[in-house]
């Protein structure tokens, strides 16, 4: 008999950033057109990205889910699950080897590829997390109950997230997501903007959407009527 002295596996809960594709239209041609436009702005960002398909708005529509999944895979996205679908849509999803995520009222709103929904304002927390070392490529640092302060750099391929504000005192080359629980009053303050992606409460801009005149400059990022604004930190 083989004796196992240590555990071979372990399940752990973890904070993972997943893109959510909210479908508001069941016409595959329209979806394909808008998807191509979005991905053309930052193809490397979407490449091999896991994605959840939200079917809430089209759960009563006739939808060719297999075509949607195939379309996403054509662009290099990796569909992993659906949520908010009808029982029939869920059954089709299972046949396509997709999981099902339950819809929760307190779900954090990840990045939306299409129109972002207006998030609810969460309670404000005073907890602040301070990072003194560089955030390396592939690392994810999160402040789930307040602000995040990074006193060093954030490398390309790294990701920082905060319930409220984010302050970066070194170059920001990776991704910064503030207001991850839906706080649309959150802001990002950055001393040297080189970001792959900026996001506040699910509204985002990728590198190609950031005005060239603001790159390599100190900036602040905030929401103004659901539009992401980037302005010089010092006028």
Kindly state whether residue 44 falls inside one of the protein's structural domains: yes
> Do 136 and 221 have their domain in common?
yes
Kindly state whether residue 180 falls inside one of the protein's structural domains: yes
Mean model confidence pLDDT for the chain: 83
Domain count, the chain: 2
> Do 132 and 85 have their domain in common?
no
Q: Tell whether the model's pLDDT for residue 204 goes beyond 90.
A: no
User: In what order do the strands lie in the sheet containing 227-232?
Assistant: 127-131, 146-150, 166-172, 188-193, 219-224, 227-232
Kindly state whether residue 107 falls inside one of the protein's structural domains: no
> Do 84 and 171 have their domain in common?
no
> Do 144 and 203 have their domain in common?
yes
Contacts of 161 (CB under 8 A, 6+ apart): 15, 17, 140, 141, 142, 143, 144, 148, 176, 177, 178, 180
CB 146 within 8 A of CB 138: no
Cα(154)–Cα(157) distance, rounded to whole angstroms? 9
190 versus 110: the higher-pLDDT residue is 190
3-state secondary structure of 128: strand
Between β-strands 219-224 and 188-193, what pairing exists: parallel, antiparallel or unpaired?
Answer: antiparallel
User: Which residue, chain included where needed, has tokens 């809430």?
Assistant: 56
CB 154 within 8 A of CB 169: no
For the stretch 54-64, pLDDT in tens is 999 999 988 99
Kindly state whether residue 165 falls inside one of the protein's structural domains: yes
91 versus 1: the higher-pLDDT residue is 91
Q: Of 31-45, 85-99, 121-135, which gets the smallest average pLDDT?
A: 121-135
Q: What is the pLDDT of residue 124?
A: 45
Kindly state whether residue 149 falls inside one of the protein's structural domains: yes
Kindly state whether residue 6 falls inside one of the protein's structural domains: no
Which range marks the domain in which residue 213 is found? 127-232
CATH number at residue 225: 2.160.20.70
3-state secondary structure of 81: strand
Of residues 128, 106, 127, the one with CA closest to residue 181:
106
CATH number at residue 64: 3.30.70.260
> Do 173 and 212 have their domain in common?
yes
Kindly state whether residue 111 falls inside one of the protein's structural domains: no
> Do 160 and 214 have their domain in common?
yes
């Amino acid at each position: 008999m083989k004796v196992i002295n240590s555990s071979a596996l372990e399940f752990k809960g973890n904070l993972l950033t997943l893109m959510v594709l909210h479908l508001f239209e069941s016409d595959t041609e329209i979806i394909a057109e808008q998807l191509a436009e979005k991905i053309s702005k930052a193809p490397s960002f979407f490449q091999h990205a896991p994605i959840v398909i939200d079917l809430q708005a089209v759960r009563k529509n006739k939808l060719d889910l297999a075509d949607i999944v195939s379309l996403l895979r054509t662009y290099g996205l990796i569909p992993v699950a659906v949520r908010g679908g009808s029982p029939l849509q869920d059954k089709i999803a299972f046949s396509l080897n997709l999981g099902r995520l339950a819809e929760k009222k307190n779900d954090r709103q990840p990045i939306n590829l299409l129109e972002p929904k207006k998030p609810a304002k969460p309670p404000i927390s005073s907890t602040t997390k301070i990072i003194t070392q560089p955030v390396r490529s592939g690392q994810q640092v999160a402040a789930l109950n307040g602000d995040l302060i990074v006193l060093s750099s954030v490398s390309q391929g790294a990701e920082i997230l905060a319930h409220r504000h984010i302050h970066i005192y070194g170059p920001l080359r990776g991704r910064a997501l503030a207001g991850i629980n839906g706080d649309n009053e959150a802001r990002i303050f950055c001393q040297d903007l080189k970001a792959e992606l900026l996001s506040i409460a699910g509204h985002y801009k990728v590198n190609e959407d950031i005005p060239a005149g603001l790159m390599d400059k100190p900036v602040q990022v905030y929401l103004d009527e659901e539009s992401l604004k980037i302005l010089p930190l010092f006028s």
